[in-house]
Structure 1
């Protein structure tokens, strides 16, 4: 097997193995050992191979698979009552996420060395994230208890300051936190979503406002379409997160308009009116925003002109993940 560890063979072998994981949307134990073997097999004098491997790992599909595998791994640790520090597969996933996110730094600097993982990511952040999952499990179990055994319990609505700080200062923690938010949104977990949402208004390098995240997030939000009939829920989602960030990037404006085009008939009428005013394009907005806004205005006009009728349940915006290059971190 020695010839397989030559630089010319490492990259395609690593790519094929990772591609198999991407197709299954999970890195299992067997493939994790194979991937680790390739990473550990890079010898002195062959460090430039790390640049090739990091560029492969920075692909959005690879990041998606590694982050989802991390969330699944944490859930398994909870069920086994184990800690992150003792799990080798989890360490490898974090190692590959770190390589992927550091790809452009490595290429720009031409220093081919694995980024050092922050130990507090494993000893503090991941246990905090696991505690959020446990809070959710506990709340759900208590609500399933027979009526006579129930004790009135409120869902936790705050987060530890240190958790929010990790999302702002550590790019790997930020990535995992955002993918956890996507996970709970896809599960239609409204309580957990509203608890975590305020924490992502300020994230590392504004990762929460990239096209890739917003594309996935708005798609998953359509699964909660019935909740948009509540003005309180709309206020949390639109005013609490999207509207306040409009001035940051124009892509946020586009994503809100696309979401409303899909869900306008489910949104509380009073809220829809205020959103239409808040989202009206300015002279500085691009043609894409103006076109989407015009489409929304036409839909609302048609709705007013036509008699009320039972609306069909909207299908989720099951769109493919864009394959776009990961930009360098400034």
Structure 2
């Protein structure tokens, strides 16, 4: 706690205070004369002021009120003067600021003087160490100082810097997770389209982090190090999003020192533009390829940051979706995947994002190699399934004579064992498989292909790193279901409902903390398609007391959060039901 202001703070600087007045009154012969003398010697020494004071007396204005108004006015004028000296930024102005600080710093605990001290500290380009030591020893005063002053302390005190940024990092991650667990989030307001790329990096937490590091290169480097360490410990991909958004926020604010310092700026800037425009043109592709090629040798520390940017879920979603489009176009045009230069680049980017944790943990140098078998075997086998999907689609529009010769079931091969192993063992393959599957979900303007979709859904639970159950991919899956054609809902069909609910979601309730929230979200929006009986049975499985059987203090916050959401969903779907069909929401 900061030491409280005492009258001795003034008296130690030769300014008379209450102790001086008390001493005077206890030793004087005539108290009235002593008080008059004290007032005279400590009043504003302006002879021309006396007539004005008498006029104020006639209007009933007390001396205290008058002196308070004068103090406020003088303080405001002094602050304006200090700011102008700071803006001048020359030797003479700096000298004047130092002189002002020298006169007033000892009185920093006096509330009326502190604003002057804080402003003088703020305007000085470099605060002398003797002042920084005093600030550091007074926590309350430290918090009152401007970021520019605290930056100079953080340069010498790493623990305080980490303490300043960690709450913002926690708040950023918490806000991301809250978005993903929002059961009221409709299909159109998905994690990937609810905000623009520019809006995401204008979050308060990101702007405050940029403000904290300012143009101090060492603080920026330290912040990135903290983010890397947190990602290694948690594997939370939101730190990858923050890595991209942080440098782009600095770009938006024209913070040249950080933009020039960060070797990943061009890579982030190019990918950000691609995500924003949902397009990768030839020039951007060449730029990305050049960046990757130019860093193949040396640059020991750059690959960890490049991989974090490539692992941003928005980037992964864009690249995976584009890979699916390229794959489908190739199936229509008869090109082999290994001959497509664009697909080779997309796989390099996906592979970079897929190996982020290993690169950072093992301090790997150089770009992770893309296994050629993915191009020659996985994508080749995958394209066979894609060709079958195209054939079935064409059969829907074919004349009767064609249908007499061919049947849709003729083009419905199961996923080969090799394909299944790729999806289970390689994250790049799992991302492509997942996005291809989601692209087949029925939409408001797209007829569903349930028979073809079932073979893709069968591998959702076994995707590498269980990404089928991980956010934001599960959030994307649920969003696709919600925004689908209500007249052609996958959950209204017995087979697809069983594949999605029984064989996938309900088997993974314990796979990730967010799975139960996404099931509640489905029920919240699609309980009519799922059916009353099925919805009620699922809610019984999801009861808080069932999912938290051995509740302890550590689990209490998660339990309370989930219980509130569960009760909200139950209340919504129970409206209009008979009393004997009610579900206990506790």
TM range (shorter): 0.7 to 0.9
What corresponds to 2:354 in structure 1? 101
Which of 1 and 2 has greater Rg?
2
- Alignment check: 8 A CA contact 1:77 1:83 kept: yes
* 406, 412, 417: which one aligns with 1:156: 412
What corresponds to 1:259 in structure 2?
522
Aligned with 1:165 (options 415, 421, 439) = 421
1:247 aligns with 2:247: no
Where do 1:3-152 residues align within 5 Å? 8=261, 10-42=263-295, 44-151=297-404, 152=407
Tell me, in whole angstroms, the C-alpha distance in 2 between the residues paired with 1:215 and 1:288. Answer: 18
Q: Relative to structure 1, is the Cα distance of residues 263 and 66 closer, same or farther in structure 2, using a 3 angstrom cutoff?
A: same
For 2:471 and 2:313, locate their aligned partners in 1 and report how far apart those are by CA, in whole Å: 11
Unaligned runs of 5+ in 2: 1-259, 549-558, 580-586
TM superposition shift of 1:12: 1.7
CA distance in 2 between partners of 1:15 and 1:122 (Å): 26
Cα distance in structure 1, aligned partners of 2:537 and 2:546: 20
Structure 1 residues 148, 283: closer, same or farther in 2, change over 3 A?
A: closer
Q: Could you tell me how far 1:195 is from its partner in structure 2?
A: 1.9
1:215 pairs with one of 441, 463, 475: 475
Match of 1:198 among 458, 462, 467: 458
Q: 1:224, CA displacement in angstroms?
A: 4.5
Aligned residue in 2 for 1:316: none
Residues 1:54 and 1:281: Cα distance change in structure 2 (over 3 Å): same
Equivalent residue for 2:536, pick from 240, 248, 273: 273
**Aligned partners of 1:181 and 1:196 also within 8 Å:** yes
Matched position secondary structure for 1:211: coil
Gaps in structure 1 of 5+ consecutive residues: 1-6, 307-330
SS in 1 for 2:536: helix
1:293 pairs, out of 556, 566, 571, with 566
> What CA distance in whole angstroms lies between the structure 2 residues aligned with 1:189 and 1:63?
25
Q: Answer yes or no: is the 8 Å Cα contact 2:304–2:359 preserved in 1.
A: yes
Are the aligned partners of 1:26 and 1:66 in contact in 2 as well (CA < 8 Å)? Answer: no
Asked if 1 retains the 8 angstrom alpha-carbon contact of 2:423 and 2:464, the reply is yes
Tell me the matched-pair count: 300
**Corresponding residue for residue 24 of structure 2:** none
What's the CA shift string for 1:26-77, capped at 9, x where partnerless? Answer: 3222211111011112264334332332221111111111111111111222
Q: Deviations over 1:136-186 (max 9, x none)?
A: 111121222223431343262632121111111111111111111222226
Partner Cα distance (1:299, 1:43) in 2: 56
SS of residue in 2 equivalent to 1:264: helix
Q: Deviation string for 1:231-271 (max 9, x for gaps)?
A: 34322221121111223233211110111101112223332
Contact 1:26 1:68 survives alignment (8 Å)? no
Counterpart for residue 310 of structure 1: none
User: For 2:342, what is the secondary structure of its paired residue?
Assistant: helix
- Greater RCO, 1 or 2 (C-alpha within 8 Å, sep 6+): 1
Kept in 2, the 8 Å contact 1:98–1:172? The answer is: yes
Counterparts in 2 of 1:231 and 1:303: CA distance versus 1, 3 Å: farther
- After TM superposition, the score normalised by the length of structure 1 is 0.83
Q: Contact 1:230 / 1:268 at 8 angstroms: preserved in 2?
A: no
Cα 1:58–1:249 change in 2 (3 A) is: closer
User: How far apart, CA to CA, are the structure 1 residues paired with 2:471 and 2:485?
Assistant: 20
Partners of 1:157 and 1:287 in 2: CA distance: 47
